[in-house]
Amino acid sequence: MMALRFPRRRVGVSALTFVLILGSLATPASAAHPGAAQGTGGAVSSAAPAATAAGLEILRAGGNAADAAVATALALAVVHPQAGNLGGGGFAVVRFGNEVATLDFRETAPAAATPDMFLDRKGEPRPEASLVGPLAAGVPGSPAGLAELHAKRGRLPWAAVVAPALRLARNGFVVTRRLEAALTAEAPLLARFPETASVWLPGGRPPAAGEVLRLPELAATLEAYAAKGAPAITEGPLAAAVELASRRHGGVLRAADLTAYTPVWRLPVRFSAFGWEVASMPLPSAGGIVLGQTCGMLERLGWAAKPRFGADRAHLLAEAWRRAYADRFLLGDPRTSLASAHQLLAPSWLELRAGEIKPLRATPSDRVRSWSRDETSESGETTHLSVLDGEGNAVALTTTLNGSFGCGLLVPGVGFLLNNEMDDFATAPGRPNLYGLVQGEANAVAPGKRMLSSMSPTVAWRGSEVVVLGSPGGSRIPTATAQVLLNLIVDGDELQAAVDRPRLHHQWRPDALLAEPEALAPETASALVSRGHELRIVDQLGEVSAVRRSAGGEVGAAQDPRGPGAAGVVRPDVD
């Protein structure tokens, strides 16, 4: 039996109207799970207590899952600026009644982007160019994306949904230990831009945990956004301010890029797994495809019947992921992708891939080729939030600036940071990105293109049961999401236990099986090594936010003990 390494103690936090459980204070996996909050009026799980509270406030005010998701995301843009954003982008999987759709508000390459913009004259990668400063920034998708999610699915007035974030920015919020630590870790990046340092390193130092911080410029931006919607940011003086800041530091992002940006509703990647229906993110995310391939191969390999914590299951996971990430090499923006979800999730391809896997021997990644047409006849910061409302409607939303605090540049007069999502493109042949992913031609930079992502917001259901989940973690997102989903739908874990369990990861290249410290018992680890796996122990794989509705209509919420986020539920009976 695996032990857990995360320090935790039980906390019984309840308020009149909602229950809020702090991720880092969750109950141990071995205990019963009162730590996973339960109610019937809806549930929110996110990476920051103040953001979860914002979502719960909106549910209590009669908002639905879309209203609460937008309010939570906007609150994250204030209190969790390393990932929450208005200057980045993201994805949402939305299930209302029996209708499932996904909203793609991923950044795009600016109109002036070129395939070699991150290379020097000799064709060598320019150090940092795709990571630091506004050249690294894609066109922000969040302002239009969050407004679109509300416009299509929200119920409350727009200004009411923006209000909690506006209040946090204007009146101030308490700096958390996580924020202080993130600002301290990234102080060298933030200090490179005086515009950023004046807000996030006042007096040259990060604000200390416990201090109340006000963000007047961001508050003014949110006020304009509440009044006029996305055009308040994507047109006029605020868009001009983005262009000015970009030009000053050598970026190619222009006001016209912001104005031209449009979010896109897309059909989800849909598959059945272990008796559940699953909907996850399609291209330009590889996440749904990796998740679908993983489940498809595992089902064919009889994974569920293997002993739960033994080497067989870990081996098959690694082998399935190795192949799914090899296929990822072919993926990119749907307009240029060299393979589609349809091709990579075809039963014939999954059959063939599952058939390649040797039960007792790792296949070296160099021998695993990506999908081809002939054969068929695959730390930084991101943040995920999961919401259910009392009617069972679900929103899974993952959003990011890519690296922690994005490209480091805060737009003066606007108050938000710009992303460094351009690094998610294949910026130089053969060069691994921030997450060690080596990517293919399909994901080369071109104007207007969306860079390939791993973000995997996911909704799964069986009858009236619903599970909503997702994670940050770059390339590790789909594997973290897959494991929590499998813990729930194969092994029947309680929600919190499913999130708590230690995790593994493999991404084809580098050819290594990553494991959290407590993920493998010593005898399992040696069995895997003797099957040919190179094991590497890493601190943490993902940070999952999950909510769930039982067949009886009760909702539960869990936040990952790997981070200090919070999960909470609304209890109408207590109101």
Residues tagged active-site: 382
Contacts of 317 (CB under 8 A, 6+ apart): 294, 298, 303, 479, 482, 483, 504, 506
**Among 15, 64, 91, residue whose Cα is nearest residue 481:** 91
Least separation in angstroms between CB 31 and ligand DON: 28
Question: Rounded distance, CA 199 to CA 177, Å?
Answer: 18
424 binds ligand DON, rule: CB under 6 A: yes
Distance CA 291, CA 193 (A): 39
Q: Tokens 């939305």 map to which residue?
A: 94
> Measured from the CB atom, is 42 or 564 closer to ligand DON?
564
Q: Is 290 in the site for ligand DON (CB under 6 A)?
A: no
455 sits near ligand DON (criterion: CB under 6 A): yes
Q: Cβ-count burial of 152 within 10 angstroms (0-12 exposed, 13-18 middle, 19+ buried)? A: middle
Nearest to 362 by CA among 411, 429, 314: 314
454 binds ligand DON (CB under 6 A): yes
User: Is 400 among the residues that bind ligand DON (CB under 6 A)?
Assistant: yes
In the list 42, 138, 140, 380, the residue contacting ligand DON (rule: CB under 6 A) is: 380
Q: Provide the residue type at 280 as one letter.
A: S
Segment near ligand DON (CB under 6 A); pick from 227-235, 243-251, 336-344, 377-385: 377-385
CA atoms of 42 and 400, how far apart (whole Å):
25
Exactly one of 40, 259, 365, 379 binds ligand DON (CB under 6 A); that residue is 379
Applying CB under 6 A, which of residues 381, 389, 494, 511 lies at the interface with ligand DON?
A: 381
C-beta closer to ligand DON: residue 382 or 458: 382
Pairing verdict, β 545-549 and 555-559? antiparallel
Beta-bridge partner residues of 213: 173
How far lies 26's CA from each of 20, 43, 386, 481, 496, in Å?
11, 16, 17, 19, 8
> Is residue 337 close enough to count as binding ligand DON by CB under 6 A?
no
565 forms part of the interface with ligand DON (CB under 6 A): no
Can residue 138 be called a binding residue for ligand DON (CB under 6 A)? no
Closer Cβ to ligand DON, 454 or 487, answer by number: 454
Of the candidate spans 13-21, 406-414, 471-479, 511-519, the one that interacts with ligand DON by CB under 6 A turns out to be 471-479
Stretch that binds ligand DON, among 71-79, 173-181, 290-298, 466-474 (CB under 6 A): 466-474
Q: Give the integer Cα–Cα distance in Å for 524 and 535.
A: 11
Q: Which residue number is nearest to ligand DON in terms of Cβ? A: 382
Is 64 a binder of ligand DON (CB under 6 A)?
no
Q: Among 457, 473, 478, 563, indicate the residue that binds ligand DON (CB under 6 A).
A: 473
**3-class SS of residue 556:** strand
**Under the criterion CB under 6 A, does residue 474 sit at the interface with ligand DON?**
yes
Contacting positions for ligand DON (CB under 6 A): 379-382, 400, 402, 421, 424, 453-455, 472-474, 477
